[in-house]
Amino acid sequence: MAEMNFLNEQKRLEALRSYRILDTDEEADYDDLTEIAAAICDTPIALISFVDKDRQWFKSHYGLAVDQTDRCHSFCSHAIQDPERLMQVEDAQFDQRFHENPLVTGSPDIRFYAGMPLLDKDGFALGSLCVIDQKPRLLNQIQQKALRTLAQQVIDKLSLRRNNRELLKINQQLTATNSKLRETEERLNKANTDLTESKERLQTILDLVVEGIVITDREGKITYTNRRNREIFKMDEKRMLTLTNVSPEFNNRTLDGSPLPQEEHPVTIALQRGATTINREFLVSDQHSNSVYLRMNAVPIRDHNEMITGAIGSFADITDSYFLQQKLKEREVSLRAAISSANLGTWHMDLQTKELFASARMKELFGFYQDEQISYKSVIGQIAESHRKKVIAIAEASLRQNEPSELEYPIIGYHDKKLRWLCATFYAYTDPENPNIFFFAGTTADITERKMEEQRRSDFIGMVSHELRTPLTAIKAYTNLLQRIAGKNNDKMLVSTMEKVDTQVKRMEAMINGFLEVARLGEGKIRLNITRSDLASLFKIAEEDSLVTINSHKVIFAPTETTPLDVDQDKIEQVLINFINNAVKYSPPGTTIEVSCITKNGMAQVYVKDQGMGIPIADQPFIFDRFFRVESDAMKDKKGFGIGLYICKEIIERHHGKIGVESTEGQGSVFWFSLPVSII
């Protein structure tokens, strides 16, 4: 029982605390109630008292100075024992419970006490509203009712207060929740704008990519297309979004033109089998019924449950490269035919592995057996020692500069030890299938016959020229002698005849010298006597020479500035005069020949322009070759051996210069050479 009481008291105290009224400030509302109670009950003291654990505390104490007393002296703690009822003590002096109470025996000398418990709606008596008098008495009915009503008022106020506090708390919580909600909303809004922005950005990026992009739903219906996609199909977005990947509008076909089975379309493969397709090539039609070759990749789109919800395809228009490839294939076929009919040896080398692949003819030319594995090194080893270094240098330069080159060299066959002359080409290329793989390749043609023939011709010319030089020197001497005698004898007829003989002799001498030069060039014996020269003075000499020797044509020399050159002056003069003489020889009398020079990028460029027969385009690449002459009707009565330009080319190239021609048949030619200008 005692335990239950204790528990009840605990609960009562908890309830009391929940109102948070203890030790609060005085409040007019409560003070009004005690004042009214005192007035109605006609007592000097009225209290609103709460019974705490060890004390009673007064929220309002009308007519009493103290605001709390010990609980053990409390009347109210007795009153609350019977919470429903008003407790009246008529005279405390005669009440067993209180007659020894210091509040009775001393100040404030309590005699009469009436306390109405303050019972809250949960049934806890928190304290009481009480009136106290210093003389014995009792309350009448009206006063008792008033005290009950006022006690109820106190309780109402307390509940209101507690409710208010709770409301306030809820309100605060609500405000907090509200602001959190607002924050979340703002964050959501931001996320939304971010999403829209990144979607727009993605679209811009997708519109920039060079590939066409298509996104479809589960059924293959197109839900997104980028700009390139629409360009390829020449279709607007609205229309595209009504189609599927296999709509008849696309006219999907295989490369041979037969209809592409629906289940073979990369997007369908992604949707139906969940598989990725890479580089599938097929044919479609654009809106204008033009065929377009596509190369397409497609992947499925899956949701978080791994369910396929759509597919993404990216594709490129490969129409141009497809046709190019076709053409390349055709060209390869004809190239192969050409190689075999020209009996060319071919080879290529993988630059990563250094592996050399040589055709049967190539092996044959180098004197290897067909089943023999040959290497770059073993091929190089067969090149005649006189030419080996040069061949390696040219091959390496060709590889380094990625420029094809061509040269002629002798080799000794590996097994048969035979001497052969080869004309070889070199070029570097990348694997069309894989741009990271580099190849070095070339062809070799057997030119032994031609070389031998040239050699024989050269030997013959050299020998004949030598033989002719001796009698010619004698003829020259006799001519000079006869000229002098004729001069002395004043024999005009003989003088003029001897002059003609002299001119013919000089022509013959020039011709023989030319032949000898060619023979020497063949043996690599041409020597340069380099001195500091000036192009302007070279022009001058040529001009004076042409004034004396040419009267059939108008030769105009453009003014030339001083241009220093380190050259063999006689040889360059020889080139210039050769160009001018050819211009005279191959253009009709009375026409103009212009000689001019400009300096550009450190090179002096000399031009000789005529209004002659010109050179057919097909012949132009060979014009500087030894013994080459154009064969045409116009050339029938033009005598010559086709060595002048060959010598010119050798001379200019040995000066590290360049030589060339621009010509239109029937209209004229411009022969030019360029030489490096020396720094003063």
Residue 313 or residue 614: which is nearer to ligand ADP going by CB?
614
Residue 306 or residue 631: which is nearer to ligand ADP going by CB?
631
Look at strands 554-557 and 592-600 and give their pairing: parallel
* Region of 55-63, 138-146, 488-496, 606-614 interacting with ligand ADP (CB under 6 A): 606-614
On whether the CB atoms of residues 217 and 193 are closer than 8 A, the answer is no
652 lines the binding site for ligand ADP (CB under 6 A) = no
Which long-range contacts (C-beta less than 8 Å, at least 24 apart) are formed by 247-251? 249/287, 250/284, 250/285, 251/284, 251/285, 251/289
Q: Which residues contact 319 (CB under 8 A, 6 or more apart)?
A: 291, 292, 293
Residue 520 or residue 629: which is nearer to ligand ADP going by CB?
629
Residue 180 or residue 507: which is nearer to ligand ADP going by CB?
507
- Considering the complex, what minimum distance in angstroms separates the CB of residue 513 from ligand ADP? 14
How far is 119 from 223, CA to CA, in rounded Å? 73
Cα-Cα-Cα-Cα dihedral of 611, 612, 616, 622, to 10°? -100
Which of 79, 130, 235, 613 is close enough to bind ligand ADP by CB under 6 A?
613
Residue 313 or residue 668: which is nearer to ligand ADP going by CB?
668
On whether the CB atoms of residues 493 and 601 are closer than 8 A, the answer is no
The tokens of 331 are what? 């060209």
How far is 251 from 291, CA to CA, in rounded Å? 9
Q: Which residues contact 661 (CB under 8 A, 6 or more apart)?
A: 615, 620, 623, 669, 670, 671, 672
Q: Which residues contact 349 (CB under 8 A, 6 or more apart)?
A: 355, 356, 357, 376, 439, 440, 441
Which long-range contacts (C-beta less than 8 Å, at least 24 apart) are formed by 591-596? 591/553, 591/554, 592/553, 592/554, 592/555, 592/556, 593/553, 593/554, 593/555, 593/556, 594/556, 594/558, 595/539, 595/542, 595/543, 595/555, 595/556, 595/557, 595/558, 596/557, 596/558, 596/560
- In the region spanning residues 582 to 601, those forming contacts with ligand ADP, defined by CB under 6 A, are 582-583, 586
The tokens of 447 are what? 């030119």
621 lines the binding site for ligand ADP (CB under 6 A) = no
Which of 328, 333, 335, 635 is close enough to bind ligand ADP by CB under 6 A?
635
- Considering the complex, what minimum distance in angstroms separates the CB of residue 431 from ligand ADP? 42
Angle of helix 448-488 versus helix 492-522 axis, rounded to 10: 160
Residue 220 or residue 612: which is nearer to ligand ADP going by CB?
612
Q: Is 194 exposed, middle or buried (0-12, 13-18, 19+ CB in 10 A)?
A: exposed
643 lines the binding site for ligand ADP (CB under 6 A) = yes
- In the region spanning residues 527 to 586, those forming contacts with ligand ADP, defined by CB under 6 A, are 582-583, 586
Cα-Cα-Cα-Cα dihedral of 649, 650, 654, 657, to 10°? 0
Residue 248 or residue 590: which is nearer to ligand ADP going by CB?
590
- Considering the complex, what minimum distance in angstroms separates the CB of residue 606 from ligand ADP? 14
612 lines the binding site for ligand ADP (CB under 6 A) = yes
How far is 644 from 624, CA to CA, in rounded Å? 8
Residue 75 or residue 646: which is nearer to ligand ADP going by CB?
646
Which of 83, 566, 641, 676 is close enough to bind ligand ADP by CB under 6 A?
641
Residue 111 or residue 626: which is nearer to ligand ADP going by CB?
626
Residue 150 or residue 630: which is nearer to ligand ADP going by CB?
630
Residue 588 or residue 602: which is nearer to ligand ADP going by CB?
588
- Considering the complex, what minimum distance in angstroms separates the CB of residue 529 from ligand ADP? 23
623 lines the binding site for ligand ADP (CB under 6 A) = yes
How far is 240 from 393, CA to CA, in rounded Å? 60
- Considering the complex, what minimum distance in angstroms separates the CB of residue 569 from ligand ADP? 21
642 lines the binding site for ligand ADP (CB under 6 A) = yes
* Region of 188-196, 270-278, 307-315, 637-645 interacting with ligand ADP (CB under 6 A): 637-645
* Region of 152-160, 317-325, 449-457, 643-651 interacting with ligand ADP (CB under 6 A): 643-651
- Considering the complex, what minimum distance in angstroms separates the CB of residue 643 from ligand ADP? 6
For the beta carbon of residue 494, count every other beta carbon within 10 angstroms.
16
Residue 344 or residue 623: which is nearer to ligand ADP going by CB?
623
Measured CA angle at 594 (ends 592, 600), to 5 deg: 160
- Considering the complex, what minimum distance in angstroms separates the CB of residue 450 from ligand ADP? 18
The tokens of 623 are what? 């014009």
- Considering the complex, what minimum distance in angstroms separates the CB of residue 640 from ligand ADP? 2
Helix, strand, coil in percent for the chain, rounding step 5: 45, 25, 30
Which of 283, 518, 645, 652 is close enough to bind ligand ADP by CB under 6 A?
645
- The SS3 call for residue 677 is coil
Q: Nearest Cα to 127, choosing from 216, 62, 43, 53?
A: 53
- Considering the complex, what minimum distance in angstroms separates the CB of residue 577 from ligand ADP? 11
676 lines the binding site for ligand ADP (CB under 6 A) = no
Residue 212 or residue 614: which is nearer to ligand ADP going by CB?
614
- Considering the complex, what minimum distance in angstroms separates the CB of residue 663 from ligand ADP? 7
Residue 626 or residue 655: which is nearer to ligand ADP going by CB?
626
Residue 621 or residue 640: which is nearer to ligand ADP going by CB?
640
Residue nearest ligand ADP by beta-carbon distance: 640
Q: Which residues contact 664 (CB under 8 A, 6 or more apart)?
A: 614
How far is 392 from 380, CA to CA, in rounded Å? 8
* Region of 125-133, 142-150, 338-346, 621-629 interacting with ligand ADP (CB under 6 A): 621-629
How far is 209 from 297, CA to CA, in rounded Å? 15
Which of 518, 630, 652, 675 is close enough to bind ligand ADP by CB under 6 A?
630
- Considering the complex, what minimum distance in angstroms separates the CB of residue 632 from ligand ADP? 8
Query: Which residues contribute to the site for ligand ADP (CB under 6 A)?
Result: 582-583, 586, 610, 612-615, 623, 628-630, 635, 640-646, 669
